[in-house]
Structure 1
């Protein structure tokens, strides 16, 4: 790689050819302020829109100030990032941004997590000297996401994430100049019948620097239910939450806080604290049975069997295939997601064992995913108007609630989940990372197909962070071609190849978010640092590695559940309670 000689603020350095001024400055520890720029090269997200102009710098021999985020370095370049002209210009630009920005910081959802707020502090803004007109916009509410265009600073990160990484094309800039705003087509709400492109993955929320788009909160609904003596309130916690929640309390990314989290949830007042990982093991019983059934039919020469079988745990991914590939809806597994399986088991089986009326049980989920809020509201997961999962809170919402209740996670003692819905295997834990669902399914499918013990449960070929991974896995003497994709754009690439006859697979796992659930839209904000997500992935895997039981079908409480209620996977009762149906949706943003 060719190295370029340049000078920044009087300091000489070398940087790789093709580097931007912004990235070159990082080599010598110079932090150039920015708002619109975000770069996560590990997942191919490079947003250099140069629209906020906060990163302007002065280059010798160039009349105008240049944006550091998109200007590439050249030999002999001499740059000033902190002279009076640069600092004055930045301050004026920031004051212009603040001049029509809502002054609701004290109760804003992004208070203390807002990049605009942080920048104002860094640049020493104590007053805004510029005042002008503002254009009011109505807030747009859905079950999962709220959009507040009044706070939009036109950085267009959400648009780029939705278009380039997720390929959903829901958001784009509307109008121009002072009236410019990022909007949906025809200013539709995300849940409008005409707008069938949003999957509620929440990745737009994850990258928004302000609170122009944020999650719908159910915190006060939960507080009211916890205070209601007529209600029994239980909670389930997804695998990814335990390796990210600690970040909200100052712990390093990837810290496993399972025991402390369980104690904190009990202190909040939940009657029972259960583990979604138990339901993940339950999911594998059904999904692995589907894999076995389809593979055996295929090997016997059945030409009508539909392959590849696709995993079905991610609600944003299910929304995506319903929107974009309605002719392929007979391919995914019909097994419900772990969250919905837990809700179904809790409200249809556990309630009876406890002598509780279904209507008096409130089932709450803590999830890394905003699409789970939407999933909980899907009518097929309701019985006579009563949902299997009443509502879902994000990891960030749980952290906020704990702080409101003056519960410091770091000071909590360790405790265990309640039984019987709190016991899991290592296979249930790895649902939180890309490749984990497929690896868990193959651990069980291997033994069921070959009728032999799987001695090494590690399918290393399925692991990694490449957006599309293809591996051949031997199930005894049977070679299975497996595909893994994370990110909806990666899913589209894979599905298009299958649809066009360019690729053939036996089974595919798809997760909507980069890295899997650990990178979900409801997780603590990564602010563009993908290393945080990688540390969460490593922590999830460490939980699996340390488990004594690492195959879902070996979970003793899962065995008991089937002996007493389901008899076997894919039995009529299992189909009734643990499986679902998918529905085609018109995609108004396609093509």
Structure 2
């Protein structure tokens, strides 16, 4: 049964033209409505992936007097009053306004973690060429926004893959609950809960990297810094709107405190930096804070399609053979949308894996799991 969390993806009926572009990209058919009329979202079915937000082309025209004012719409959406971009019909719940107020509270110890892809996508918000890496400028900007600690979600990815790699090898050796699915993507987890609850026992028991870091922030990091966990504001900057959903789940708590108190997107971070008047382009590079700012290559590739699988194979290989994998570039794992399969030799173990890129492609594998014919160990 899926958790009862307030909807995160919305469609503004004042602005929606009923073009149904959003319905065309929704991987779970959660957009409801006739063409030419405002659309609605089935919150139970929605996996909060945000694809509808990305593709929406209907926006508020400044010359339309009958609409709710722009200032009120920004407030309703949780956005800063300084935002100048068009307001589209499909949007996600924002937390930039709430975070701006929280960052001004001197009583809170403010900790932030950033997903690996943010250091690339943030650069585009400031006009830098696609692919430009800005981890140092990002860390500097976050400190200017009043964060006390700046951590890297890559650290959590390393923790996740050590746990998940160990769990995978244990399940393969025992033959229990196979195939094992990764559980790092909250959109996939929500889809499994609503559309295929019979596979829930097959999901890895490991938290996602974001929640791993969140748990450490309220325990290990709090102890190192001598701060009471209740005084910590734990924030995550993530590329996916569904991370907002994940952070709000009831089970994501440590001793009654949420592991991650608030999630903002890359765009929201850029808006906060601009709102503060920070000259991002000319910031000097600064490092992430230790110890939760260090990471390995396995953690870094989590952000790429097939990266979690590649990291799991690398880790599993070392756990079984006690040697480093001979070929670090597992190119057969990587690729575009669809399903890719492979067989990997790990010592005496023949590991059969599948990578599903795109939620709309998972139905055939779910059917195989249902009828007991799925040949894979890890998906």
| CA shift digits 1:304-346 (9 cap, x unpaired) | x111111111111100111111111110101001111111111
How far residue 146 of structure 1 moved from its aligned partner, in angstroms, is: 3.1
Residue of structure 2 in register with 1:200 after alignment: 48
Task: Tell me, in whole angstroms, the C-alpha distance in 1 between the residues paired with 2:269 and 2:244.
Answer: 14
Matched, 1:241 2:105: no
SS of corresponding position for 2:113:
strand
SS of corresponding position for 1:493:
helix
Q: Structure 2 stretches of 5 or more lacking a match?
A: 59-87
SS of corresponding position for 1:422:
coil
Q: How does 1:217-366 map to 2 (within 5 A)?
A: 217-298=94-175, 305-366=176-237
Q: Which has the larger radius of gyration?
A: 1
CA contact (8 A) 2:8 2:93 kept: yes
Task: Tell me, in whole angstroms, the C-alpha distance in 2 between the residues paired with 1:468 and 1:408.
Answer: 43
Residue of structure 1 in register with 2:23 after alignment: 159
Task: Tell me, in whole angstroms, the C-alpha distance in 2 between the residues paired with 1:290 and 1:378.
Answer: 23
Task: Tell me, in whole angstroms, the C-alpha distance in 2 between the residues paired with 1:155 and 1:390.
Answer: 36
CA contact (8 A) 2:368 2:374 kept: yes
Q: How does 1:531-570 map to 2 (within 5 A)?
A: none
Task: Tell me, in whole angstroms, the C-alpha distance in 2 between the residues paired with 1:364 and 1:481.
Answer: 37
Task: Tell me, in whole angstroms, the C-alpha distance in 2 between the residues paired with 1:171 and 1:282.
Answer: 36
Task: Tell me, in whole angstroms, the C-alpha distance in 2 between the residues paired with 1:326 and 1:403.
Answer: 43
Deviates most, 375-384 or 313-322: 375-384
Task: Tell me, in whole angstroms, the C-alpha distance in 1 between the residues paired with 2:255 and 2:135.
Answer: 35
Residue of structure 2 in register with 1:181 after alignment: 38
| CA shift digits 1:144-200 (9 cap, x unpaired) | 3233111112221111111xxx1x1111224x76xx221246xxxx2xxxxx21111
Task: Tell me, in whole angstroms, the C-alpha distance in 1 between the residues paired with 2:41 and 2:336.
Answer: 31
Q: How does 1:90-129 map to 2 (within 5 A)?
A: none
Deviates most, 498-507 or 313-322: 498-507
CA contact (8 A) 1:485 1:494 kept: no
- In structure 2, the CA distance between the partners of 1:169 and 1:486, relative to structure 1 (3 Å rule), is same
How far residue 260 of structure 1 moved from its aligned partner, in angstroms, is: 1.3
CA contact (8 A) 1:249 1:408 kept: no
Residue of structure 2 in register with 1:73 after alignment: none
How far residue 209 of structure 1 moved from its aligned partner, in angstroms, is: 1.5
How far residue 385 of structure 1 moved from its aligned partner, in angstroms, is: 4.5
Task: Tell me, in whole angstroms, the C-alpha distance in 2 between the residues paired with 1:170 and 1:377.
Answer: 21
Matched, 1:399 2:270: yes
Task: Tell me, in whole angstroms, the C-alpha distance in 1 between the residues paired with 2:255 and 2:151.
Answer: 25
Q: Structure 1 stretches of 5 or more lacking a match?
A: 1-140, 191-195, 299-304, 509-591
Structure of higher RCO (CA pairs closer than 8 Å, 6+ residues apart) = 2
| CA shift digits 1:511-567 (9 cap, x unpaired) | xxxxxxxxxxxxxxxxxxxxxxxxxxxxxxxxxxxxxxxxxxxxxxxxxxxxxxxxx
How far residue 496 of structure 1 moved from its aligned partner, in angstroms, is: 2.2
CA contact (8 A) 1:497 1:503 kept: yes
SS of corresponding position for 1:380:
coil
| CA shift digits 1:100-125 (9 cap, x unpaired) | xxxxxxxxxxxxxxxxxxxxxxxxxx
Task: Tell me, in whole angstroms, the C-alpha distance in 1 between the residues paired with 2:284 and 2:320.
Answer: 43
Matched, 1:171 2:31: yes
How far residue 250 of structure 1 moved from its aligned partner, in angstroms, is: 1.0
CA contact (8 A) 1:277 1:424 kept: yes
CA contact (8 A) 2:179 2:374 kept: no
CA contact (8 A) 1:143 1:377 kept: no
Deviates most, 284-293 or 243-252: 243-252
CA contact (8 A) 1:241 1:367 kept: yes
Which of 386, 394, 412 lines up with 2:283 in the alignment? 412
Which of 348, 357, 361 lines up with 1:490 in the alignment? 361
Residue of structure 2 in register with 1:504 after alignment: 375
SS of corresponding position for 2:202:
coil
Task: Tell me, in whole angstroms, the C-alpha distance in 2 between the residues paired with 1:152 and 1:267.
Answer: 38
| CA shift digits 1:412-436 (9 cap, x unpaired) | 2112111000001111111111100
- In structure 2, the CA distance between the partners of 1:272 and 1:143, relative to structure 1 (3 Å rule), is farther
CA contact (8 A) 2:109 2:233 kept: yes
- In structure 2, the CA distance between the partners of 1:419 and 1:249, relative to structure 1 (3 Å rule), is same
| CA shift digits 1:409-462 (9 cap, x unpaired) | 222211211100000111111111110011111111101112223232221110
Matched, 1:374 2:245: yes
SS of corresponding position for 1:309:
coil
How far residue 295 of structure 1 moved from its aligned partner, in angstroms, is: 1.4
